[in-house]
């Protein structure tokens, strides 16, 4: 299972492991406590602060489930300065827009890193690449929802939902094929023609 930080819970992790699965999950700050091999509380940030931009590291730690220590592998990579600044702006806008409490300093600092929790014994780079692949898939879904109207389905009947979904999927395939096969310049009339054609198909 490869998932975002909303799924970073002990119950979620245990559920995957109970079925013999593995996971790569974006670590959520304060989702649960981390411990060392002796059962002592472990702070994650001191293990990350020495990283340079785009450099990664591994932290072997544990969480407690039913009073027992369970192994957890943390893979972290420092973001570049542009990504860090962008993240800070987004977080500040969210606080201002939703009138939430100010974000705690350690949470803000942790967002300077891509922090993943995993049960896989792959290299750090392989784990990070797996998560990047998941993000690319999510970007496709964002595009489907915004351009092709993949929002709430218009019916509760299984057959109607399937027909609606596959019809939309066919339109996506047609539009992608048209845009990929037509050589055009972004500044020319052929670009406008391709764009309008795709919108008409939708």
Indicate whether 36 pLDDT > 90.
yes
Q: Which domain holds residue 16?
A: 2-144
Q: Does residue 39 sit in the same domain as residue 111?
A: yes
Could you tell me which residues are beta bridge partners of residue 41?
Answer: 35
Query: What integer is the mean pLDDT of 89-107?
Result: 79
C-alpha to C-alpha distance for 68 and 24, rounded to whole angstroms: 22
Q: Do 114 and 76 sit in the same domain of this protein? A: yes
Average pLDDT, the chain: 84
Residue 127 — pLDDT band, cuts 50, 70, 90? Answer: very high
Domain boundary pick from 107, 127, 144:
144
pLDDT bin (cut points 50, 70, 90) of residue 165 is confident
| Tokens coding 131 | 């998560």
**192 pLDDT band (50/70/90 cuts)?**
very low
**Is residue 118 located within the same domain as residue 171?**
no
- Between 133 and 155, the more confident residue is 133
The mean per-residue pLDDT over the stretch 116-134 comes to 93
Per-residue model confidence (pLDDT) at position 171: 82
Q: How much is the pLDDT for 183? A: 59
**Highest mean pLDDT: which range of 147-156, 166-175, 178-187:** 166-175
Residue 3: predicted pLDDT: 86
| Residues 48, 44: Cα–Cα separation, whole Å | 7
What's residue 191's pLDDT? Answer: 47
CB 135 within 8 A of CB 143: no
**Single residue among 126, 144, 162 that ends a domain in this structure:** 144
The pLDDT, as a whole number, for residue 96 is 79
Residue 59 has pLDDT above 80, yes or no: yes
Based on the structure, what is the number of domains in the chain?
2
- 31 and 109 part of one domain: yes
Q: Are both 80 and 169 inside the same structural domain?
A: no
- pLDDT of residue 82 exceeding 90: yes
**Section 191-201 average pLDDT:** 47
- Rounded Cα distance between 9 and 93, Å, is 26
Q: How high is the pLDDT of residue 34?
A: 95
pLDDT for res 97: 78
- Sort 68 into a burial class: Cβ within 10 Å, 0-12 / 13-18 / 19+: exposed
């Amino acid at each position: 299972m490869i998932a975002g930080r909303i799924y970073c819970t002990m119950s979620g992790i245990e559920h995957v492991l109970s079925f013999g699965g593995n996971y790569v999950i974006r670590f959520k700050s304060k989702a649960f406590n981390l411990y060392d091999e002796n059962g002592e509380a472990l702070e994650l940030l001191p293990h990350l602060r020495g990283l340079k931009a785009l450099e990664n590291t591994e932290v072997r730690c544990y969480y407690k489930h039913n009073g027992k220590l369970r192994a957890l592998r943390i893979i972290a990579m420092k973001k570049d300065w542009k990504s860090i600044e962008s993240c800070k702006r987004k977080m500040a806008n969210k606080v201002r827009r939703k009138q939430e409490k100010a974000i705690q300093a350690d949470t803000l600092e942790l967002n300077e890193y891509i922090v993943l929790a995993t049960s896989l014994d792959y290299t750090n780079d392989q784990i990070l690449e797996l998560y990047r692949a998941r993000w690319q898939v999510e970007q496709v879904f964002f595009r489907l929802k915004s351009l092709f109207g993949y929002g709430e389905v218009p019916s509760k009947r299984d057959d109607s939902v399937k027909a609606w979904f596959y019809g939309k999927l066919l339109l996506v395939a047609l539009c992608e094929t048209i845009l990929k096969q037509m050589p055009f310049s972004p500044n020319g009339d052929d670009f406008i023609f391709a764009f309008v054609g795709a919108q008409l198909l939708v």
